């Protein structure tokens, strides 16, 4: 399956007629089993782009094309948000099977699928716990398992680790890299964290300040599986420095405009 983000632009017009251009001519594609990360300054339209790809928001121009997709009961996309979005009255297991219930799968099949992803994300033994009994990292694991349980063609993640402390965030990056390797699905990941983008991605799409435009698409030629040792090696640091150069230049432009 190939996903084509085909010249997407987005303009907002408020009730006073004020126009805000959020995205301008965003164009790139995603291949099978590819991990693509989008980075850019705050307010550059990263989340807007993700919501358009997810079908939660319409574009002003352009389109999202899923090539070579056969119609079946699977959703095209699933989204993992930064605020967990779990049902507090449902257990871990019940949260994970929610989408399967909505699709009308038999309970035996629901349990089989849920157990697979509970094991994948490392939540064995917590099936009957409620969200308030879990740490932030564990809550996000539930969100990831729930999204994957529906077998989407593309998993979209909107800064999913931003609410976590630094140590948990780092550990979750390792976990997510492992999960992606196990599922071999296509992931599109939104972040403002450059080191995270380089560690996780096969390619990093770098956006400008608003309106978000593509400044570069950086191919990350780092070996997999990726572990902690990678973050001290020269190639990794060079990728981080190159992407930071783009972000830093955009910040300078914003300051010049203000002054």
| pLDDT of 202 over the 60 cut | yes
| pLDDT of 175 over the 90 cut | yes
CATH number at residue 112: 3.40.50.300
pLDDT in tens, 233-255: 999 999 999 999 999 998 888 77
pTM, full prediction: 0.93
pLDDT at position 259: 66
pLDDT in tens, 40-64: 998 999 999 999 999 999 999 999 9
pLDDT in tens, 86-142: 999 999 999 999 999 998 999 999 999 999 999 999 999 999 999 999 999 999 999
HEC string of the chain equals CEEEEEEEEEEEECCCCCEEEEEEEEEEEECCCCEEEEECCCCCCHHHHHHHHCCCCCCCEEEEEEECCCCCCCCCEEEECCCCCCCCCCCHHHHHCHHHHHCCCCHHHHHHHHHHHHHHHCCCCCCCCCHHHCCHHHHHHHHHHHHHHCCCCEEEEECCCCCCCHHHHHHHHHHHHHHHHHHCCEEEEECCCHHHHHHHCCEEEEECCCCECEEEEEECCCCCCCCHHHHHCHHHHHHHHHHHHHHHHHHHHHHHHHC
Confidence of residue 15 (pLDDT cuts 50, 70, 90): confident
| Residue ranges making up the domain that contains 65 | 2-258
Count of the separate structural domains present in the chain: 1
């Amino acid at each position: 399956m190939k996903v084509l983000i085909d010249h997407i632009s987005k303009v907002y017009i408020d009730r006073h007629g004020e126009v805000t251009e959020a995205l301008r001519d965003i164009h790139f594609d995603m291949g099978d089993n590819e991990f693509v990360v989008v980075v850019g300054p705050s307010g550059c339209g990263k989340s807007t782009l993700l919501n358009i790809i997810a079908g939660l928001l319409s574009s002003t121009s352009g389109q999202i094309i899923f090539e070579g997709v056969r119609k079946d009961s699977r959703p095209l996309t699933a989204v993992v948000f930064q605020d967990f979005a779990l049902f507090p009255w449902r257990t871990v297991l019940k949260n994970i099977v929610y989408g399967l219930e909505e699709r009308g799968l038999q309970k035996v099949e629901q349990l089989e699928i849920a157990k697979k992803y509970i094991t994948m994300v490392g939540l064995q033994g917590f099936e009957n716990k409620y969200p308030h009994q879990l740490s932030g990292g564990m809550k996000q694991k539930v969100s990831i398992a729930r999204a994957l349980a529906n077998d989407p063609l593309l998993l979209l993640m909107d800064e999913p680790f931003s609410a976590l402390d630094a140590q948990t965030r780092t550990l979750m990056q390792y976990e997510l890299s492992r999960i992606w390797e196990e599922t071999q699905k296509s992931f599109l990941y939104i972040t403002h964290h450059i080191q995270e983008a380089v560690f996780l991605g096969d390619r990093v799409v770098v956006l400008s300040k608003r309106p978000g435009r593509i400044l570069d698409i950086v191919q990350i030629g780092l070996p997999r599986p990726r572990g902690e040792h990678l973050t001290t090696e020269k190639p990794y640091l060079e990728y981080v420095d190159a992407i930071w150069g783009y972000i830093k230049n955009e910040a300078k432009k914003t300051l010049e405009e203000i002054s």
